[in-house]
Copies of this chain bind each other. A is one copy, B any other.
Amino acid sequence: MMFDELLMIPGPVHVNSRILNAMSRRLIGHRTPEFSEIMRNCTEGLKELFGTKNDVYIISGSGTAGMEAGIATFSKLDRITCIDNGKFGDRLGKIAERYTNVDVLRFEWGKSIDLEKVEVSLEDGSQAVAFVHNETSTGILNPAKEIAKIAKKHSALVIMDGITSVGGDEVKMDEWGIDVAIVGSQKCLGIPPGLSAVAVSERAWEFYNERAPFYLDLSAYKKKIKDWQTPYTPAVPLFVALDEAIKIIQEEGLGNRIKRHRTMAKAVREWAVNAGLKLFPELNEYSNYSNTVTAIKMPEGITDKELRGTLKEEYRILISGGQEHLKGKIFRIGTMGNIGKRELLSTLVALEDVLTRKGVALPSIDSAIKVLSEVNQ
């Protein structure tokens, strides 16, 4: 590759130079006060993003490792309800079934979830509910607050995959009543993949399963966090990257950051609708479009390869296609992390070029520019 590529996929996202450079500083020992200070900054910073006063444990492993740690550690229960309206909801169920009985509530990918079915499943004796906050595969924001409210009525444990929402969209773990929440490093935090973090309420420990996998048993992380340490050797360069990312987030301010993410996603939607394209999600009164990734139906008259291939070859911009049975049927634009108007408009203009050349969309970049005037970056 001669010139730089721009990652506009819904993670891993573009990593800016401050963070890239931080990783290549000399390697420090992990059992040192210097590392503990990094660990403290990362942990305290993440607490703000999760909206919690609870402990946050950082795991060297991808988002899936964090999801499994959050489910397996708290799986001393007879049945868990897993809400599946996308690829990552499906994965929650696959993980949970290795530890306990699972009631999978399946909804068509792209459709909103039906809260009544959640209520019925919990009335029926499920002791926990697990769901994906921001379903990256379909571009839907599931109703976290409402799910937690129903769970509370039944004293059920609430596990939320916040992998692609924490750090980019509003997450208020304590206020909403979420017991376990997970984030991944390569999404809204803006660092490379390889870390995940799990925030855990005090109450979750009532469901502690001592047969959880050794590496993913959060009780070992809980013991070590008192000294700002990890139980096993941490992926040091990624912790240094996270430390830098937390500083960047604090400089921007969480409120501004959330507003920027919401505005960028809104700009994509406005552009798409004005271009004559159709958004993929079908919303009901409780759900919303994702504020960090937008899924758009592939218009007639162009193939996935023509669209994404040309974008990559001519413009060096990567966007995502659909996953599994949605392959070729949708395309997805990530608006996560440390990018702003410049990166987003260049992506939409390039898309517009490719689509209008094939005669399958109308010029509509003005609508995106107008929305983006709401933010400064």
Give residues in A with beta carbon < 8 Å to B: 1, 4-5, 7, 9, 11-12, 14-15, 20-21, 23-30, 32, 34, 60-65, 68, 72, 94-95, 98, 184, 186, 192-195, 211-216, 232-238, 318
Q: In the complex, which residue of chain B has the Cβ closest to the Cβ of A211?
A: B98
- Pairwise interchain contact B193-A235, C-beta atoms closer than 8 A: yes
Q: Given contacts A62-B232, A194-B60, is CB(A72)–CB(B213) below 8 Å?
A: yes
Kindly provide the distance from the CB of A252 to the nearest chain B CB, expressed in whole angstroms.
Answer: 20
Q: Given contacts A12-B29, A98-B214, is CB(A237)–CB(B23) below 8 Å?
A: yes
Contact with A23, one of B7, B24, B184, B213 (Cβ below 8 angstroms): B24
Most chain-B CB neighbours within 10 Å: which of A30, A61, A95, A233? A233
Q: Given contacts A64-B214, A233-B62, is CB(A194)–CB(B238) below 8 Å?
A: yes
Distance A2 CA – B193 CA, assembled complex (angstroms)? 30
Distance A248 CA – B5 CA, assembled complex (angstroms)? 27
Distance A212 CA – B235 CA, assembled complex (angstroms)? 23
- Pairwise interchain contact B98-A233, C-beta atoms closer than 8 A: no
- Pairwise interchain contact B27-A20, C-beta atoms closer than 8 A: yes
Q: In the complex, which residue of chain B has the Cβ closest to the Cβ of A163?
A: B233
Q: Given contacts A4-B26, A21-B24, A214-B95, is CB(A237)–CB(B61) below 8 Å?
A: no
Q: In the complex, which residue of chain B has the Cβ closest to the Cβ of A11?
A: B233
Question: Chain B residues with Cβ under 8 A from A23's Cβ?
Answer: 23-24, 237
Question: Chain B residues with Cβ under 8 A from A62's Cβ?
Answer: 60, 215, 232-235
